[in-house]
Amino acid sequence: RREREDALRDEPAITTDGHRVAVVANIGGVADAREAMTKGAEGVGLLRSEFLFMERTTAPTEAEQAAVYADCARALTPGQPLVIRTLDVGGDKPLTYLPIPAEENPFLGIRGVRVGLEQPAVLRTQIRAILAAADAGAHLQVMFPMIATMADWRRAKAIFDEERDASGVGTPVSVGIMMEVPSVAVMARQFAAEDGCDFFSVGTNDLTSYTLAMDRGHPKLAAQVDPCNPAVLTLIGQAAEALHERGKWLGICGGVASDRQAVPILVGLGVDELSCSIPAIPSVKAMVRRYSLDTCRELAARAVACSTPEEVRALVPDDEA
Ligand code: PEP
Ligand code: MG
């Protein structure tokens, strides 16, 4: 199977009835960007920018960041998307130069975009660095993590607009929201109506955790934090429908996008882009090619009617062997 999938890795992922799904990569640096290209990625759906900020005593400068973003962009085929997620740290991952007071409940505290809104200098520097890489070849897209309220989004977007206007950069840079807090999925219709909000990408790792109120790293609970829980799939399906009404696209950048069994269900729910771990790309593409969109939709309808993740997984044969 691997050999067959590898032979077709550079071909697009199109269902048997002609529906194309973008298959892109999750990356954590420039080397990953290069490797993703060798595995058939059609761009990058999530650059976790944390790697630039960890294990150091001062924040990376604007020039330092811009050079890395431009290197990532140049590693891609010209015109491919490069979604850069702004710094996603929080009280559980302290950075010495970015003091976040200790919290009782860091996963419900100052994390993700909340850090940038509390300490806008860091966010502003990062946005300027991204804008500086806008002409490096890829289609740059900025994505804010852990947006929970409309106020979060509007504040983050206002900061982006101010920096873009001040930069004089004319190349379009898209702006989107990471859908990983249930409130954003539930209010997808209102978020989709926001001017200047171009796209959404579901972080199913956190979305599942927050939907079930279970820590994804908890030794006793992690096994139950399954993104195939029908509650999570229902949120994704409803969000996709609301976004498509407004002509906005929905990606998945959480781990479930690399899960072969989940692929036809996600496609049937209306997901436009799957952002996978690099090694999973050829087999995710192969999974898309195996089904018709009609069958995917039927599977999705059955999945959201299921009562447990086990029932959902039983819908799609697992022929990994
Ligand atoms: C997610 O939450 O699904 C996600 C992609 O972000 P991270 O795993 O980096 O929190
Ligand atoms: Mg997350």
Is the shortest distance between the CB of 126 and ligand 1 below 6 Å?
no
pLDDT at 83: 98
Which residues have beta carbons under 5 A from ligand 2 (an ion)?
A: 180, 203, 206
Query: What is the pTM (predicted TM-score) of this model?
Result: 0.97
DSSP state of 200: E
pLDDT at 94: 76
How far, in Å, CA of 73 to CA of 292, rounded?
33
Q: What is the pLDDT of residues 136-192, one digit of tens each?
A: 999 999 999 999 999 999 999 999 999 999 999 999 999 999 999 999 999 999 999
pLDDT at 267: 98
Q: Which atom of ligand 1 is nearest to the CA of 201?
A: 5
CA triple 85-88-91, angle to 5 deg: 175
Residue nearest to atom 1 of ligand 1 (CA): 203
Q: Which helix (H) or strand (E) segment is 177 a member of?
A: strand 174-179
Instruction: Find the mean pLDDT for residues 121-146.
Output: 97
Locate the DSSP E strands across 198-271: 199-202, 249-252
Instruction: Find the mean pLDDT for residues 287-305.
Output: 98
Q: Which helix (H) or strand (E) segment is 60 a member of?
A: none
Report the SS3 class of residue 238: helix
pLDDT at 320: 58
- The distance from CA 195 to its chain's CA centroid, rounded to whole angstroms, is 20
Neighbours of 220 (CB within 10 A): 8
Instruction: Find the mean pLDDT for residues 258-265.
Output: 97
How is residue 277 written in tokens?
Answer: 């771990």
CA atoms within 13 Å, Cβ hemisphere of 303: 32
Q: Note the residue count of the chain.
A: 321
Residue nearest to atom 6 of ligand 1 (CA): 203
pLDDT at 93: 74
Residues forming beta bridges with residue 252, ordered by sequence position = 202, 274
pLDDT at 65: 98
Is the pLDDT higher at 1 or at 196?
Answer: 196
pLDDT at 321: 40
Q: What is the pLDDT of residues 86-108, one digit of tens each?
A: 999 986 777 888 888 889 999 99
pLDDT at 208: 98
Q: What is the pLDDT of residues 35-81, one digit of tens each?
A: 999 999 999 999 999 999 998 999 999 999 999 999 999 999 999 99
Is the shortest distance between the CB of 277 and ligand 1 below 6 Å?
no
How is residue 60 written in tokens?
Answer: 């990376």
Q: What is the pLDDT of residues 25-34, one digit of tens each?
A: 999 999 999 9
pLDDT at 91: 65
CA triple 302-308-313, angle to 5 deg: 60
* CA 207 to ligand 1 center in whole angstroms: 8
DSSP string, 102-159: --S-GGGSSBTHHHHHHSHHHHHHHHHHHHHTTTSSSEEEEEETT--SHHHHHHHHHH
Is the shortest distance between the CB of 47 and ligand 1 below 6 Å?
no
Say which residue the tokens 């990953």 belong to. Answer: 32
pLDDT at 89: 94
Top mutation candidate among 206, 235, 273 for ligand 1, by most atoms within 8 Å of CB: 206
Say which residue the tokens 């979604």 belong to. Answer: 83
Shortest CA distance to 23 belongs to which of 248, 266, 225, 243? Answer: 266
